[in-house]
Amino acid sequence: MKRLQTTIGLAIAAFAVAACSGNPMPGDQGYPYNMTGMYDASFEAMGTVYAGPAEIATSPGGLIYGTIQLDGPETVLGDMEGSISGDTLTFASNYERGGGCTGILSGVGLIAEGGGSVTGDAVVDDDCSGDLFDAVFSMDRQDD
C-alpha cells in the first residue's frame, strides 16, 4: 500500500511539473506579452509630444531593457529598464536632454497580446525644471 501511495504521489508531482512547464513565463519564448524589437514611442507631457524610436528586449524573468530617443522641442536620450508582469509593463528611463538636463521618465502600461504595442501613464521627473509632470505614452512595434 505504501508503494502505491508513493507511486501516486510521484505521478501527481510529475503532472504538476509538466503542467507548469507548458505555460511560458515572462521572458520565455512564446509568452504573449514579451516586448522585443524596435518601437515607435510617443510621450505627451504638458501638451508637448516627444516621439522617436525605442529598442526594447525582454529577458528571462520578464526584465526589460533598452534605449529610447525622443525628439520634440529637444532630443531626449535614455536607457530603459523595467519588468513585465502579466500584461503590464513597468519601466524607468534615466535620460539626458538638451542643456545638460537629466531626469527620470517612468511609467506603467498595458501591453497588447503579442507584445506589439503598449499604452499607459508616465511621470517625468526633470532635474532642470525641479518638478514632476504627468504624461501619457504609447509604443508600437515597427514590424507590426
Domain range list for the chain = 37-141
- For residue 8, the 8-state DSSP code is H
Q: Give pLDDT, residue 8.
A: 54
Q: Give pLDDT, residue 52.
A: 96
The C-alpha torsion from 129 through 130 and 132 to 136, rounded to 10°, is 20
Q: Give pLDDT, residue 18.
A: 46
CATH superfamily, domain 37-141, is Quinohemoprotein amine dehydrogenase alpha subunit, domain 2 (2.40.128.120)
pTM comes to 0.81
Q: Give pLDDT, residue 87.
A: 96
Closest CA to 104 of 93, 96, 115, 114: 93
List C-alpha distances in Å: 31 to 61, 142, 144.
11, 19, 17
Residues of the chain with pLDDT under 70: 1-22, 144
Provide the sign of the torsion angle of the four alpha carbons 31, 35, 38, 43, taken in this order.
positive
Helix (H, G, I), strand (E, B) or coil at 139: strand
Q: Give pLDDT, residue 27.
A: 87
Contacts of 29 by beta carbon, 8 Å cutoff, 6+ apart = none
